[in-house]
Structure 1
Amino acid sequence: MKQNVLETKRLILRTYDADDLGTLHAILSDPVTMQYWPAPFTLEGSQQWLNNNMKRYETHGFGRWAMVSKSSGQVIGDCGIVVAELDGQLENDLGFIVAKEFWGKGFATEAAEACKQFGFQQLGLKRLCANMAFDHHASRSVIEKIGMTKEKEYINARNRNILTFLYAIEKD
């Protein structure tokens, strides 16, 4: 059952359910949208993404959520926090994916800021991280706009052994 988690001026972030597979796969399988990932997702990969997040809701009380445009009701991306291993450390990883047709409109920044606030205020997290390919300038810009700073660089074995930037922010 879909449940709204966060609301911003233009977005609703809500839980996924099994009905979201087709819409989610259209985003995750797009080669332009997913150009900074190891590869666009297969249908099986999108199903696993969906299943993993639905399990995270039960296990952690959070995960990645569907990013829904209030004006159209359309799922335009994905944003949230997951516990993930980043350069050998377990971290609370804030991430987002926005479908290419919605790039450059501030949706990622709006969703990421809301997730940051949720993580600190509702979940009581003390630290959030984000990681991205060194050349993913748009994601770096989003993360910097919400107050995260680059902590280190590392070679990411989980993403084609490319140089990856790790950003972090601690709760005040």
Structure 2
Amino acid sequence: MSGKKVEDGEFLIETKRLFIREMMQADYDALCRIMCDEEVMRVAYESAFSLEEAQNWLNRQFKRYEEYGFGLWAVVLKETNEMIGQCGLTMQGWREKEILEIGYLFQKAYWHKGYATEAAIACREYAFSVLKASTVYSIIRNTNTASQNVAVRNGMNIIDKDSKSFRNVDMEFYLYAADQSVRKPGARVKL
């Protein structure tokens, strides 16, 4: 699977309120407002990342863009041109197989405004229309009800559960999935 290679700052996806584009090194400070925020990260990863871990996260996205043509992308609010979150597609392991996952993390100031759902739906449509994926998934902690609600609004249902260890902490996760039957027009995917 591969997506379209884009120039720095060029957006891949446009929705009503958002531009979604590859992250750049210039996004590091905005990324830290997500990854280094204790409250934001507690729901997904149990604790905040250090500045070095945030840079490693960003570097991992750069490698994903090179290897796959996609990864977690910057979600930019059209109104202010500010990076408010990240949402995108990554290959993740689940029970000995690789799956195409839609992941998302947003700055706390932008929670409960529908941005995660808007971005996740757009990424789902990108996966189906550009990558020609038949199914997309989201792996979500069993305690993260807000992200679970986003997955449901993205047309997904729980199909499995498992535990994974992160930073020596065992955590329970649900596997959500949606196939092409949930497709609805809405996001304009720039090809």
TM range (shorter): over 0.9
Partner of 1:146: 154
Show the counterpart of 1:34: 41
Query: Could you tell me the percent identity over the aligned residues?
Result: 32
What amino acid sits opposite 1:21 in the alignment?
Y
Instruction: Work out whether 1:165 is the aligned partner of 2:174.
Output: yes
Matches within 5 A, 1:98-109: 98-109=106-117
- Which of residues 75, 78, 95 is equivalent to 2:103? 95
Kindly tell me the number of residue pairs found equivalent between the two proteins.
Answer: 172
Between 157-166 and 36-45, the greater mean CA deviation after superposition = 157-166
Runs of 4+ in 1 over 4 A off after TM superposition: none
Structure 1: 5+ residue runs without aligned partners? none
How far 1:19 sits from its partner (Å)?
Answer: 1.3
The residue that corresponds to 1:49 in the other structure is: 57
- Give 1:122 deviation, angstroms: 0.7
Residue 127 of structure 2: aligned partner:
119
The superposition leaves residues 94-137 of structure 1 with CA deviations (integer Å, 9 ceiling, x where unpaired) of: 10001111111000000000000000111111221101111111
Q: Distance in 2 between matches of 1:38 and 1:16?
A: 24
Conservation of the 8 A alpha-carbon contact between 1:76 and 1:102: yes
Q: 2:14 aligns with which of 7, 22, 37?
A: 7
TM-score computed with the length of structure 2 as normaliser: 0.86
Alpha-carbon RMSD: 1.2
- Contiguous gaps of at least 5 residues in structure 2: 1-7, 182-191
Distance in 2 of aligned mates of 1:71 and 1:2: 16
Normalised TM-score (structure 1): 0.95
Alignment partners' CA distance in 1, 2:52 and 2:104: 20
Q: Which of 77, 80, 86 is matched with 1:69 structurally?
A: 77
Query: 1:170, CA displacement in angstroms?
Result: 2.1
**Equivalents in 2 of 1:6, 1:134: separation in Å?**
29
Deviation at 1:171, TM superposition (A): 2.4
Q: 2:144: which partner in 1?
A: 136
CA distance in 2, matches of 1:119, 1:33: 26
Q: Check whether the contact 1:87–1:156 (CA below 8 A) recurs between aligned residues.
A: no
